[in-house]
Structure 1
Amino acid sequence: MNLTREVDFGPIRGRGLVAAQSINTEDILFTEDPLICCQFSWNKLYGYKACDHCLRPLESSEENVRRLTNNPTFTLPYSEASFQCNQIVQCPTCLTNYCSQNCLDSAALTYHSVMCMGLIESENENPLKKLDIIWRQFHYPPESGTIFLLVRIAAACLSACIMASSPSLHIVEALKQFISSTSAPTNENTSVLYHQLLGDQFVTRIEQIHNAFVEVLLFLCQKFSHATSCEECIQTLQKAGLNSLLEKHHFTSALCLISRNGQGIATSALSVWVNQAGKIVSTMNEQTSKEFDLFVNRLYEAIDDHVGSFLDNEGVGLYYYQSMLFLIHVHIIIW
């Protein structure tokens, strides 16, 4: 569904969306899937179970509640309203979890074939794990971004260059339309964007993060392209349009682009149950409705006692249409 159309307003305002027809109150203007997305590192580490490709929950509503309350016997009423994860599909090589074969196939064709590490556990052998550890040391919850969105973008570029798969080519082409924050950036804007992604001490941290990222980039390039030397890797990165990321300035510019265009993503099996059970209860008498509201309030209190405000599977993604909706200062506020 799309009730809008894209318009180029010129170099100052850039791209935007306008209504393609008359719009009524509560109309859905458009729906879209992210071009590419990634779960936050701490969110994933702490067992928030989500599809590695689309972030769809990988647990039922009741399983979700039991984990969030730390109560393994908790039972939800109105079980017919519960979200059910019908299947979990794993990458046969690294055992990464997906909600469907379609998500596994899409991830493999877009970026996962490049990033798949098999069952390597040692961080010394797995630069992706090393980067994840370094990132988490510098970026504690509540999270606002993840370096691995940039890693997936780089992997998609390598896949497009070497495999020429349709999904990765589509991603690369779509990414060209995003407005980079580094077109004549001001020091103030760049500083704000760095702080958004890395926190207060970004100046001292960016060097270490960049070094770890370059190690990942060269490793993935060598593994996927079978390059036999560093020079061959750099040549391949150049063909894929990634060689500039070897320089810290361009790397930080790429982080700014993610900070400017990234949109937060949250999924929750519990929220599905609350919404669907609420619809069921709305057809019943007032007493039942009050009892349901009390139950939900107490449930959220129990969750708050155990995990605080961290209820959802959380990540960040790039959306083609949504990237055209907000000015830079709005991105920073909502991210």
Structure 2
Amino acid sequence: MRYKLETIGLGKRYGESVALAPTDLQVRAGEFLTLLGPSGSGKTTLLQMISGLTLPSSGTLLLDGVDATQMPPGKRGIGMVFQNYALFPHMTVWENVAYGLRMRRAPADELKRAVAAALAMVKMDEYAHRYPRELSGGQQQRIALARCFVYRPSVILLDEPLGALDKKLREHMQLEIRHLHAELQATFIYVTHDQDEALAMSDRICLMNQARIEQIGTPSDLYDRPATCFAAGFIGHSNLLDGHVETGDGGARRFHAAGRSLALEGAAQPPGVMRDGRAWLLVRPEAAELRPQGQGLLDGSVAEVVFLCAEVRAIVAVDADRRVSVRCGRNVAPRVGEAVGVHWDMARATLLQQ
């Protein structure tokens, strides 16, 4: 299968410092792939090597099956949107959007049509004669997107483009970018450290950590079936119960934690999670429920109740070191200090080892 973009052992070093370990990544034509991870995880380094702004220390980059490792940025047919917008302050909105096509010597009629269409796409056609300083941050972001989309590149790279926006506008622009992706049918590679943004926008997420890929999958793959403790802790709210695993004479495995021995039948166990010893059991807050004391898999007392608008989260202390977060309806919120049981379906839990 030929991919729209593929990296084979692509890596970057600065002396003894590894900015990105040799990385294999395949991106399908037309998909929305998000590079997600904390600062320093290698996601921006990977994006810059795809764009050609940074040359790799090792490996190969293929675009439509063609080796583009040493190809100049302007020859790659890739559009890029930066976090700081990078608009020309002395140019009007119209001139900013037209700049790329002018550099490509597009015919005048084609340029006018393309700029008008791009501005209409981001709903900024009424601002064509304004300068960047006369626009809000959200409006400047839309112009940066229009300038990238105007020549309809087949691959579009977005480096934390919404990082400077307030929460409400950020959520609005997330939807706008998804709509633009559907309209353009281009391949989007999007960098963010915001897990909610990645979950809301992506076809697939490439989770990165310590200059390497931690896990790749759909948002539901990473949320429901994380492969590592890092993935479980980084994506969504998590209960990671620290304990140990033992295999009985009949082959049945049990998880020991907080003074309880729990049967692991039905729990997801990623490849490699087979040995006995220290382990973590992942249970999402929405998978757990409160029951009367003695009727759950664990017992404890409510240490804290957190109000989160449409829901309430109860933090249950099951021993001196372990806390379990349980999502509750507002009408059934417990009281701090109340003795409770915590229960879950083991089929909704995941056993992890490192």
TM-score (norm 1): 0.26
**Which structure shows the higher helix fraction?**
1
